[in-house]
Amino acid sequence: MPLESRLQYSEETNSARQTGKPVVALESTVITHGLPYPNNVETAVLMEEAVRQGGAIPATIGIIRGKIIVGLSPEQMDHLGRQAGQDTVRKCSRRDLPLVLAQGGDGSTTVAGTMILAHLAGIELFATGGIGGVHRGHPFDVSADLSEMGRTPVTVVSSGAKSILDLPATREVLETQGVTVIGYGTDELPAFYARSSGLAVDQRLDKPQAIAALIRARRALGLNSATLVTVPVPEADALDGREAEQAIERATREAEEAGIHGPASTPWLLRRMVELTDGRSLRANIALLRNNSLVAAQIAAALANYSTTQLFNH
């Protein structure tokens, strides 16, 4: 059975697809592996509200009992959210999707997993918090998010890579994968909790219409790589770069001492960051998730309204 036929759309999402309304995909690992309950479900709802505020329809993607749901219901999000921190929901990247479907299990989608399913569903815009990348001190531990960006043509709106990672190495891999990295209102790659990293983006663009023109140009060229739009965390909620780095270095050192590596490291480090910053990293995380959802919706709306005659005249 083709994977496309395994997609089940919410009534609202299906109606939007049929009528040409802008849609923004949202991941579900933020519900199961990113934040504790009930912050996880509350944040997922805030992200959907931000998408609506920006003029688009939200489609949170997840897997319930072996069925891919494009547009999780509130009850389905709560079902996944109550299992946060447990092993009952598989965190799904490319390699995991067939396992969960075959076994009829529950799954939450990572950046890579959401990209795959959003593309199959015909959804161009995808909002998330921070992408995965190269792990500090482990240069061969590279998130599948980066390779997925080299082969799946969607537009990912994030606040850069999670700053617990090796950002310079991550930036190099993005370049190798042929991913166009845009700074939305910034000349530097954001550093997730902090607004800048000192690393350059490929181009600064300040308006949704400019991003829409870029997306249309990528499509016209037939490129299979993603577009990464990086948005700084709102200034009022940002962490000081030095403070964030000190907390990250301590958390990373503690993870090394405890032997925490691989897929388990990112959720552990994010939880430890919340403790070390007295909750300020959690507030920054929630703020950037909401803001990225709003920006993605504005881009999706601009793309839906973009005239084909403007493609190479922008």
CA distance linking residue 47 with residue 149, whole number of Å: 22
Asked if residues 170 and 146 have their Cβ atoms less than 8 Å apart, the reply is yes
pLDDT at 312 over 60: no
Which tens digit of pLDDT belongs to each residue from 171-194? 999 999 999 999 999 999 999 999
| Average pLDDT of the chain to the nearest whole number | 92
The percentage of the chain sitting over the pLDDT mark of 70, rounded to a whole number, equals 95
Q: Choose the catalytic residue: 148, 162, 256, 275.
A: 162
Q: Using an 8 Å Cβ cutoff, are 182 and 202 in contact?
A: yes
% of residues, the chain, pLDDT over 90: 74
Q: What is the pLDDT of residue 240?
A: 87
What is the C-alpha R_g of the chain? 18
Q: What is the pLDDT of residues 281-305, one digit of tens each?
A: 899 999 999 999 999 999 999 999 9
pLDDT of residue 5: 65
Number of alpha carbons in the 13 Å side-chain half-sphere of residue 49? 9
Task: Calculate mean pLDDT across residues 225-235.
Answer: 97
Residues with Cβ within 8 Å of residue 215, at least 6 apart in sequence: 124, 155, 227, 299, 303
Which entry of 11, 12, 27, 124 is annotated as an active-site residue? 27
pLDDT given for residue 264 in this prediction: 74
- Mean pLDDT value across residues 50-54: 98
Burial (CB count <10 Å: 0-12, 13-18, 19+), residue 278? exposed
Give the Cα separation of 20 and 202 in Å (integer).
30
pLDDT at 314: 45
Residue 162 falls in the annotated catalytic set: yes
As a whole number, mean pLDDT of residues 226-251 equals 92
Q: Which of 157-166, 188-197, 199-208, 275-284 has the highest mean pLDDT?
A: 199-208
Which pTM does this prediction carry?
0.92
